Amino acid sequence: MNKIKRANVNLASHPLRNRKFFFLIAGALAVLFCVVSFIAVYTFWKYGNKNRDFSSTRVQLERMLEGVQREEGRLNAQIENASQKYKERIDLLNTLILKKNFSWLDFLSALEDSLPESCYVVSMSPSLKENSKMEVRLKVASPNLDELLKLNKNLYEKRFTNIRIISESRNEAGLLISEISLVYERTV
């Protein structure tokens, strides 16, 4: 009969008997170290290349950004020059648009409603100041001072402001010619 030999696994008492086991463990650790080292070197190499690519891309983007900022400064300077060059034309066009937009019918109706029956406008010089505001100089003929005061009161009631009588004189027909300055503001 064959006797089965028992393996003694006590590594501390007989270490040389189990050399194969130590070589197996050492070989497995060496292979594991090589695999981990290869993976680490590959990862370092791969992401190092990507990092270099990103760095070069970042440098290119910074150069492009500097170019765009220079171009923006140049364009802003051109806009400022054009703005200064065409400012008078733009202001003139805005004034024309403003005058076209102003309701002359409302102004003339309010002025007509303010005039007493015996008074009439001799001359008028309007000057548009803002979007809805106009300064007007009038010469008004009236038979006497009472009619002029009545005109003044009516102008205040029609919401004319800054009413000032600048000068008064009599013409050949004996009518009182008064120069009046006032401001008309259109209600929107």
CATH number of domain containing 112: 3.30.1360.100
- Give CA separation, 153 vs 78, 108, 116, 121, in Å: 54, 17, 10, 16
Same domain as 115, residue 78: no
152 C-beta neighbours (distance < 10 Å), count:
19
pLDDT at residue number 11: 57
> Residue 96 domain-assigned?
no
Could you tell me if residue 107 is inside a domain? yes
Give the integer Cα–Cα distance in Å for 14 and 8. 8
Statement to judge: residues 28 and 70 lie in one domain: yes
Instruction: Kindly state whether residues 112 and 176 are assigned to the same domain.
Output: yes
Q: Which domain holds residue 177?
A: 103-185
Domain end, chosen from 85, 111, 142, is at 85
Asked if residue 111 and residue 78 are part of one domain, the reply reads: no
Q: 171 pLDDT band (50/70/90 cuts)? A: confident
Per-residue model confidence as pLDDT tens digits over 11-65: 555 555 566 777 888 889 999 999 999 999 998 888 888 888 888 888 899 999 9
pTM equals: 0.46
Burial call 49-76: b when 16+ CB within 10 Å, e when fewer: eeeeeeeeeeeeeeeeeeeeeeeeeeee
70 part of a folded domain: yes
Query: Bigger pLDDT: 185 or 67?
Result: 67
Query: Is residue 26 in some structural domain?
Result: yes
Query: Does one domain contain both 67 and 110?
Result: no
Is 98 inside any structural domain?
no
Range of lowest pLDDT (18-27, 95-104, 151-160, 170-179): 95-104
Which amino acid type is present at position 19? Answer: R
| Residue 188 in this model has a pLDDT that exceeds 60 | no
121 and 171 co-located in one domain: yes
Residue 92 belongs to a domain: no
Cα 25 off chain centre by: 73
> Within this chain, do residues 107 and 81 fall inside the same structural domain, yes or no?
no
Domain co-membership, 54 together with 114: no
Strand, coil or helix: 3? coil
78 and 113 housed in the same domain: no
Judge whether 8 lies within some domain. Answer: no
The Cβ of residue 154 has, within 10 Å, a number of other Cβ atoms equal to 17
Q: Measuring CA to CA, how many Å separate 12 from each of 8, 15, 16, 101?
A: 11, 6, 10, 109
Are 42 and 109 contained in the same domain?
A: no
In a domain, residue 9? The reply is no
**Count: domains in the chain:** 2
